Amino acid sequence: MTDKTTDADQPVQYIKGVGPKKAERFKKLGVKTVGDLLFHFPMRYEDRSKFKTIAELEVGEVAVIKVTVKSARAMFRGRGRRMFEVAFADSTGILRANWFSFSAKALTARFAVGGEWIVSGKVSFNKYRGSKTITHPDTEAVTPGDQEESLNFGHITPVYPLTEGLSQKSVRNAAHTALKYLEHLDDIVPTALNRRYKLPSLATSVRRTHWPQEGADIQAFAEFKTREQKKLIFNEFFLIQSGLALKRNKAKKTYPGSGMKVDESLISKIKKLLPFTLTNAQERVLKEISADMGADSPMSRLLQGDVGSGKTVIALSAALIAVRNKKQVAIMAPTEILATQHYRSIIGLLQDTGVSVALLTSGSSAKKQAYENIRSGKTHIVVGTHAIIQDAVGFKDLGLAIIDEQHRFGVTQRASLIGKGSRPHTLIMTATPIPRTLAMTLYGDLDVSVIDELPPGRGSIVTRIYQQSNRLSAIRVVRDQISAGRQAFIVYPLVDESDKLQLKAATVMFEQFKNEEFEGLRLGLTHGRMKSAEKEEALGRFTKKEIDILISTTVIEVGIDQPNATVMMIEHADRFGLSQLHQLRGRVGRSAHRSYCLLMAEAGHGNPAWDRLRIMEKSRDGFKIAEADLQLRGSGDFFGVKQSGLPEFKIGNILRDHKILSEARKAAFALIKRDPNLSKPEHAQLRRALTERWREKFELGEIG
Ligand code: ADP
Ligand code: MG
């Protein structure tokens, strides 16, 4: 390690003015080292090169002014609503600032009469008070030292994200001091690439992003459109993509003679077991998978396919290829219901084939025997939940690991399963279509197959939004379907398993439905808190058509396959992500009958939540919906849970910066292809960054 790295890796306390207390607070912002501080970028900028006067302010503009406190007090504003008002003045007039949620004590103390402040926000005109007003402005105290330092005025000034106990000024000061260490930053992007993509130097880019030059276009900075920001974003993506490229290279190592035997006759034998002919998309994907399994390097493939597109039979076909090659197969699913369902459909298809299939969940009995059979190789295919990755489970020879609904598992769980074999083929399946940009980041090391076609004979799904006032019409649709011999789902989506309120809603409504709206019909209830045997029972009765309406929380989101169910009513639909709704909806429309998806909304027309649901009315294409969902909610929330595998970017945004992402990916993969061990001197910085910071993340082990 050179001195160069040491300096930027110093704890942030190394910066003048940052003591242990502040260092603790910086940690909350993700800033631990001087280098982190350099990459803690402003969220916006204010042009403080010249302040306007109050008289010059125009209504509607976003203004920055320097003013003095005349008075500050809490007051009533009719209908019992409290408001805090500060009157600020300069030589030309008065500007009032309002707060509507506040602690009067804190604000009174903050805005002492005579105090000087920089106030910014959108100017409006309050006709009752007869003055220009800013509601909930940003405010920054002017203190005597400020002028000399000249950090806080006289130019375009950065405004940083803060955390409790850190003032704008102390962050600004610290970040400014950190610029001294700029030259200690190593640029991981080789010179040739910087030239090709016309990227400015790293040091200049960091400096300018903190402190734009005089006359810079701060709007462009605010929108992350400057060359300097492009450089920083490129670097961030490039590092990750290089890591993914390395990981992929490593996974794709060839072991001569290790390929499985996959020939036409095996494939056609497998197809004969299936009760239907494969769709074109399934055929294509099966070809891709069998080519992988026949090759001398382990498969690592992501299989994407909308709900109901028929991934299970593809997984099963892959499993049979492995079994016929005398290898074992593990299929891991996130819930007991899903695992059980896979197990059932697999044993159904494999009757009389001599293939031995076992189900392993935490609730399984006779575990010892199951473990023994897996270890001895007597069991060929194990289907299960997390129970499969317990230490006690050892395989004789695991040749294929299949992970269903991968996004529900963490990176380490995926690794543990793969670790149960020696370089097994891996097939990762997801029914949540993943937008391309997200897939590139999350699964950028995998090959991707897509089933983009539904099996034939699927009826249309009519999706309609209902307001509560129109609830009876929705109930009527459900009743009509049941009179026609069909079945229904009523879903209370659960935000998380501990969401008691929703749970209660499902149970309470079950009683009400039974006695009122759906009196005389056969109702069943299932939710996440039920014992799995009870859940199984309810689902079993639904599949056997002993129940007309299944009321449930989102436990049915994945897995249930009952083609006779043609209507799904989703309560509080506007609270949930589009991808999740799409998943739910995929439980109907599985037969030739027309199906209905009724979205019960609390929001009314014109409300953003309502507009969001309109996307569901318009589209049945999972990829389109996923893209819209990602746009609306951002990548962190995309899966509804914090995605454990998604890197946190300091400046890059995969949606906004998708072009840069593609460029960085292309460049990174090409570079790793040319220099797979990063042994060239011009790649030393990249190599160091990857080994020091990213080894674990990318499971890289030793590079080279
Ligand atoms: P998913 O992709 O959601 O896992 P499944 O594998 O559960 O979808 O398949 C959904 C339904 O479609 C199942 O009932 C399955 O038997 C059926 N299916 C799958 N492939 C075909 C096909 N090629 N032709 C007809 N039905 C199919
Ligand atoms: Mg499935």
The first and second tokens of residue 140, run together, are 């920054």
216: which residues sit within 8 A by CB, 6+ positions away? Answer: 156, 208, 226
Whether 561 lines ligand 1, by a CB cut-off of 6 Å, is yes
One-character DSSP codes across 326-349: T-EEEEE-SSHHHHHHHHHHHHHH
Q: Is the pLDDT of residue 35 over 50?
A: yes
Segment 23-40 mean pLDDT:
93
The first and second tokens of residue 102, run together, are 């506040």
DSSP category for residue 179: G
Whether 307 lines ligand 1, by a CB cut-off of 6 Å, is yes
Whether 313 lines ligand 1, by a CB cut-off of 6 Å, is yes
Local confidence band at 536 (pLDDT 50, 70, 90 cut-offs): confident
Of all residues in the chain, the percent with pLDDT exceeding 70 is 92
What separation in Å is there between the alpha carbon of 412 and the centre of ligand 2? 22
pLDDT at site 156: 87
Segment 515-543 mean pLDDT:
87
Whether 589 lines ligand 1, by a CB cut-off of 6 Å, is no
In the sheet that holds 381-384, the strands lie side by side as: 357-360, 381-384, 328-332, 398-404, 425-430, 300-305, 447-451
One-character DSSP codes across 1-69: --HHHHHHTSBGGGSTT--HHHHHHHHHTT--BHHHHHT---SEEEE-SSPPPTTT--TT-EEEEEEEE
Whether 123 lines ligand 1, by a CB cut-off of 6 Å, is no
What separation in Å is there between the alpha carbon of 443 and the centre of ligand 2? 19
Q: Which atom of ligand 1 is nearest to the CA of 309?
A: 2
How far apart are the C-alpha atoms of 485 and 490, rounded to whole Å? 17
The fold for domain 294-451 equals: Rossmann fold (3.40.50)
Q: Is the pLDDT of residue 576 over 60?
A: yes
Ligand nearest to the CA of 277: 1
Segment 400-414 mean pLDDT:
84
Whether 305 lines ligand 1, by a CB cut-off of 6 Å, is yes
The first and second tokens of residue 566, run together, are 């043609």
Which uninterrupted H or E stretch holds 618? helix 608-618
Q: Is the pLDDT of residue 635 over 60?
A: yes
Q: Which residue has a Cα nearest atom 26 of ligand 1?
A: 455
Q: Which CATH architecture has domain 51-153?
A: Beta Barrel (2.40)
Helix (H, G, I), strand (E, B) or coil at 606: coil
Q: Is the pLDDT of residue 642 over 50?
A: no
CA distances from 646 to 171, 443, 690 (A): 27, 9, 17
Extended beta strands in 443-548, E state: 447-451, 461-467, 487-492, 523-526
Q: Which atom of ligand 1 is nearest to the CA of 451?
A: 2
Which of the residue ranges 302-311, 364-373, 640-649 would you say has the lowest mean pLDDT?
640-649
pLDDT at site 694: 64
How far apart are the C-alpha atoms of 214 and 118, rounded to whole Å? 20
Ligand nearest to the CA of 309: 1
DSSP category for residue 519: T
Ligand nearest to the CA of 275: 1
How far apart are the C-alpha atoms of 6 and 13, rounded to whole Å? 14
Mean pLDDT of the chain: 88
pLDDT at site 501: 65
What separation in Å is there between the alpha carbon of 52 and the centre of ligand 2? 62
Q: pLDDT tens digits, residue range 294-339?
A: 999 999 999 998 878 899 999 999 999 999 999 999 999 988 878 9
Ligand nearest to the CA of 314: 1
Extended beta strands in 77-180, E state: 82-90, 93-99, 116-126, 131-135, 138-141, 156-159
Model pTM greater than 0.85? no
Q: Is the pLDDT of residue 1 over 80?
A: no
pLDDT at site 574: 86
Q: Are 307 and 365 in contact (CB under 8 A)?
A: no
What separation in Å is there between the alpha carbon of 303 and the centre of ligand 2? 11
Of all residues in the chain, the percent with pLDDT exceeding 90 is 55
Pocket test for ligand 1, best of 278, 312, 620 (most atoms within 8 A of CB): 312
Q: Is the pLDDT of residue 435 over 70?
A: yes
Q: Which amino acid is at 349?
A: L
Whether 278 lines ligand 1, by a CB cut-off of 6 Å, is yes
Q: Which atom of ligand 1 is nearest to the CA of 561?
A: 14
Report the number of secondary-structure helices (H) and strands (E) in the chain: 25, 21
Segment 15-28 mean pLDDT:
92
Whether 455 lines ligand 1, by a CB cut-off of 6 Å, is yes
642 versus 492: which is more confidently predicted? Answer: 492
Q: Is the pLDDT of residue 623 over 70?
A: yes
Whether 282 lines ligand 1, by a CB cut-off of 6 Å, is yes
CA distances from 174 to 160, 170, 459, 649 (A): 11, 6, 62, 21
Local confidence band at 702 (pLDDT 50, 70, 90 cut-offs): low
Whether 329 lines ligand 1, by a CB cut-off of 6 Å, is no
Q: Which residue has a Cα nearest atom 24 of ligand 1?
A: 455
How many angstroms separate the most distant Cα atoms in the chain? 94
Q: Which amino acid is at 586?
A: G
* β-bridge mates for residue 426, sequence order: 300, 401
Exposed / middle / buried, residue 62 (Cβ in 10 Å: 0-12, 13-18, 19+) = exposed
Q: Is the pLDDT of residue 557 over 80?
A: no
Cα dihedral 672→674→680→686 (10° resolution): -20
One-character DSSP codes across 526-581: E-TTS-HHHHHHHHHHHHTT--SEEEEEGGGTTT---TTEEEEEETTGGGS-HHHH
pLDDT at site 5: 47
What separation in Å is there between the alpha carbon of 308 and the centre of ligand 2? 7
Cα angle at 332 between 331 and 336, to 5 degrees? 120
Q: pLDDT tens digits, residue range 145-192?
A: 655 556 777 788 899 999 988 888 889 999 999 999 998 888 999 999
CA distances from 417 to 254, 384, 414 (A): 21, 11, 5
Other beta carbons within 10 Å of 73: 13
pLDDT at site 187: 94
Segment 57-61 mean pLDDT:
93
Provide the residue ranges of all domains of the chain, joining segments of one domain with +. 51-153, 294-451, 461-620
Whether 310 lines ligand 1, by a CB cut-off of 6 Å, is yes
The first and second tokens of residue 306, run together, are 């909308």
Which of the residue ranges 90-94, 166-170, 239-243 would you say has the lowest mean pLDDT?
166-170
CA distances from 410 to 22, 421, 434, 511 (A): 33, 19, 16, 38
What separation in Å is there between the alpha carbon of 496 and the centre of ligand 1? 28
What separation in Å is there between the alpha carbon of 348 and the centre of ligand 1? 14
Q: pLDDT tens digits, residue range 280-294?
A: 999 999 999 999 999
Pocket test for ligand 1, best of 271, 272, 283, 309 (most atoms within 8 A of CB): 309
pLDDT at site 406: 72
CA distances from 93 to 52, 120, 198, 277 (A): 12, 16, 49, 80
Alpha-helical segments (H) within 359-466: 367-376, 411-418, 436-442
Pocket test for ligand 1, best of 280, 283, 303, 313 (most atoms within 8 A of CB): 313
5 versus 658: which is more confidently predicted? Answer: 658
Residue whose token pair is 């704890």: 11
Pocket test for ligand 1, best of 561, 562, 582, 595 (most atoms within 8 A of CB): 561
Segment 603-613 mean pLDDT:
82
Residue whose token pair is 């409290």: 82
Helices 311-324 and 280-294 cross at an angle (nearest 10°) of: 30
Whether 582 lines ligand 1, by a CB cut-off of 6 Å, is no
Local confidence band at 102 (pLDDT 50, 70, 90 cut-offs): confident
One-character DSSP codes across 183-239: GGPPP-S-HHHHHHTTPPPHHHHHHHHHSPPTT--HHHHHTT-SHHHHHHHHHHHHH
69: which residues sit within 8 A by CB, 6+ positions away? Answer: 86, 87, 88, 111, 112, 113, 114, 115, 116, 117
The CATH code that applies to domain 461-620 is 3.40.50.300
What separation in Å is there between the alpha carbon of 554 and the centre of ligand 1? 21
The reply to whether domains 294-451 and 461-620 share a CATH topology is yes
Local confidence band at 699 (pLDDT 50, 70, 90 cut-offs): low
Q: Which amino acid is at 337?
A: I
Q: Which residue has a Cα nearest atom 11 of ligand 1?
A: 308
Q: pLDDT tens digits, residue range 465-518?
A: 999 889 999 999 999 999 999 999 999 876 555 566 666 678 888 999 999 999
Segment 109-138 mean pLDDT:
91
How far apart are the C-alpha atoms of 126 and 66, rounded to whole Å? 20
